[in-house]
Amino acid sequence: MQEQQKQEKIVSMFDNIAPTYDTANRVMSMGVDKSWRRKACDLAYGFYAKDSIDKIVDVACGTGDMMDFWQKRSEVSGVAVGEIVGVDPSKGMVDVARDKYPKFNYHISRATEIPLADASADILSITYGIRNVVEREAALQEFNRVLKQNGLVVILEFMKNENPSFLGRIRDFYMNKILPKVGGFISKNLEAYEYLPNSIEDFSTVENMVHELESAGFEMLYVKSFSMDISTLLIAKKI
């Protein structure tokens, strides 16, 4: 019950900040997140190495930006994608996504209860959302269920760094002291943006995330951190 209440509180928070979410993100990241998303898509298409893909699922899709990246980078990579599906428990976020990208399909649902058939997706992504999933191990098992054999899970996330470098400490100062004030000013919800650095501090290290993926039936293909270790990309294959 405690886990369920915690998850409901997180979903409610995202419902609240949905109208200003995109503006706050662009200002706070200075647009650098676009390069991380682009790299994730390009690498995934390269690892999967197929000219035709039936379905890509973006979990915790938020306002839909990663889905748009999957579409645009598929065209660059020469990959035909049949369907792109967004899954998110926040109705507020999905409403924004539907307005921005009406060509995609959406489900309002948690990461632990994806309303798709077994082995139906070629690629499943979750960008800056896995740390907001309270029952993470159950979600990773659900990702495995939904993916086809040899299908890919693609994770972009802010990971906890237990031994930060000098540049890493600069990153932590920005994330803890500056970012919440900027996001809070734009959204008029300081608590939501104070949640971000706290959620990172409470989250997993890269090593633990790799272990959890392997325990859920995945084989790691790629792990790398970018931009002073702000963002980490993990790509794994269902085995």
- Tell me the pLDDT band of 201, cut-offs 50, 70 and 90: low
Instruction: Write the CA distances from 110 to 75, 90, 200, 214, integer angstroms.
Output: 29, 9, 20, 22
What pTM does this model have?
A: 0.84
Question: Per-residue pLDDT for 84 more than 90?
Answer: yes
Altogether, the residues listed in the chain come to a count of 239
Average pLDDT, the chain: 85
Residue ranges of domains in the chain, CATH in brackets: 2-238 (3.40.50.150)
DSSP letters, 21-37, are HHHHHHHHHTTTHHHHH
What pLDDT does residue 17 have? Answer: 72
- Tell me the pLDDT band of 131, cut-offs 50, 70 and 90: confident
Spatial neighbors of 41 by CB under 8 A, at least 6 apart, are 69, 70, 73, 74, 77, 154
What pLDDT does residue 2 have? Answer: 74
Once rounded to an integer, what is the mean pLDDT over residues 179-205? 65
Burial of 98: CB neighbours in 10 Å, binned 0-12, 13-18, 19+: middle
Q: CA-to-CA distance for 58 and 18, rounded, in angstroms?
A: 17
- Tell me the pLDDT band of 11, cut-offs 50, 70 and 90: confident
Token couple for 212:
């959890």
Contact at 8 Å (CB) between 121 and 148?
yes
- Tell me the pLDDT band of 12, cut-offs 50, 70 and 90: confident
What pLDDT does residue 72 have? Answer: 97
Query: Per-residue pLDDT tens for 152-172?
Result: 999 998 776 666 666 667 766
Question: Per-residue pLDDT for 1 more than 60?
Answer: no
Once rounded to an integer, what is the mean pLDDT over residues 193-204? 62
What pLDDT does residue 124 have? Answer: 98
- Tell me the pLDDT band of 10, cut-offs 50, 70 and 90: confident
Token couple for 60:
């915790």
